[in-house]
Amino acid sequence: MAQTIPIYIQGDVTTSATILNGSEVAAVAITTGSGGAVSSGLLWGVHGELSSTAGQVTVRAYNDASKTRELYSVTLDFSGGDTQASDLMSSAIPMFEAPYFTVEGGATSAGKTIDVNFYIQALRF
């Protein structure tokens, strides 16, 4: 029996719009290393790098630009003096159409930007 090796999609690091206090920024497509939108995959998590320390940022992934269905939501905490944080789930979330993401902050993270990179595995059909 042949062994199956997972294939991961090279996701782009995307800089958010300026983080808002208590509301999401406009949804942005999750893109690949080739610059096009990810068409499908298994979402395993996210890495974020805040422009400066302090605060929390909620990152959400949706099934489309209209935010019809929330697929994933995590709050990354930068209050410990770190500018980088990650979340890696124990089980992946399947995505069958081009996903989009938003960010939302609180009073401490508002006005900053965050570089976001999603961990995505290719789907095999």
CATH classification of the domain holding 14: 2.60.120
pLDDT of residue 2: 66
pLDDT of residue 49: 97
Phi, psi of 46 (to 5 degrees): -150, 150
1 falls within a domain:
no
Q: pLDDT tens, 8-43?
A: 888 899 999 999 999 999 999 999 876 689 999 999
Residue 73 belongs to domain spanning: 9-121
Q: pLDDT tens, 70-116?
A: 999 999 999 988 999 999 999 999 999 999 999 999 999 999 999 99
| Burial class of residue 98, CB neighbours in 10 A (0-12, 13-18, 19+) | middle
Number of structural domains the chain divides into: 1
14 falls within a domain:
yes
pLDDT of residue 98: 93
Q: pLDDT tens, 43-61?
A: 999 999 999 999 999 999 9
Distance CA 101, CA 64 (A): 9
Structure pTM? 0.92
69 falls within a domain:
yes
pLDDT of residue 10: 84
